[in-house]
């Protein structure tokens, strides 16, 4: 997520402070693709994670559960990251404020996803005793 924020700052600096001109040859369709890709990535990431969590709950080996959960978490964030990077490029080309808002929403969603023992326990519906078996 750090790279996305840094890239966004560079793009905002170039467009707002340095006055990078808007590319008028860029079709408006990029804005719509950015919107639909962002919405799709939010729901897609939730769906992928939800489906994988159901599969993970059936695994009996603690080490496989942990590694599968970690992979699922990374994939969910990667789906959101792809949409935000596309939206940043779209903003750089179009300088549309709606796209900037979408970027900020995607970054807030990614920032709110904190990995940790509490999330692990909640996602897999584990009690403290069950969680202790994974340590």
Q: Model confidence over 34-50: pLDDT tens digits? A: 999 999 999 999 999 99
Nearest to 105 by CA among 35, 55, 49: 35
Query: Which tens digits make up the pLDDT trace of 12-29?
Result: 998 888 787 777 777 889
CA distances from 14 to 10, 69, 92, 132 (A): 6, 39, 8, 50
Q: Which tens digit of pLDDT belongs to each residue from 88-102?
A: 999 998 999 999 999
Per domain, the residue ranges of the chain are: 25-133
Q: What is the C-alpha separation between 91 and 84, in angstroms, rounded?
A: 10
CA dihedral angle for residue 114, residue 65, residue 71, residue 43, rounded to 10 degrees: -70
Closest CA to 83 of 44, 47, 51: 44
Mean pLDDT confidence for 56-61: 88
């Amino acid at each position: 997520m750090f790279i996305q924020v840094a890239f966004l700052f560079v793009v905002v600096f170039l467009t707002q402070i340095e006055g990078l001109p808007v590319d008028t040859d860029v079709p408006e369709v990029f804005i719509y693709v950015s919107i639909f890709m962002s919405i799709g990535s939010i729901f897609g990431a939730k769906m992928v994670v939800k489906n994988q969590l159901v599969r993970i709950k059936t695994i009996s080996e603690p080490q496989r559960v942990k590694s599968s959960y970690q992979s699922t978490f990374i994939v969910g964030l990667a789906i959101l990251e792809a949409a935000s990077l596309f939206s940043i490029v779209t903003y750089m080309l179009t300088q549309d404020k709606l796209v900037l808002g979408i970027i900020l929403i995607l970054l807030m969603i990614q920032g709110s996803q904190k990995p940790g023992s509490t999330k692990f326990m909640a996602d897999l519906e584990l009690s403290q005793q069950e969680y202790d078996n994974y340590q």
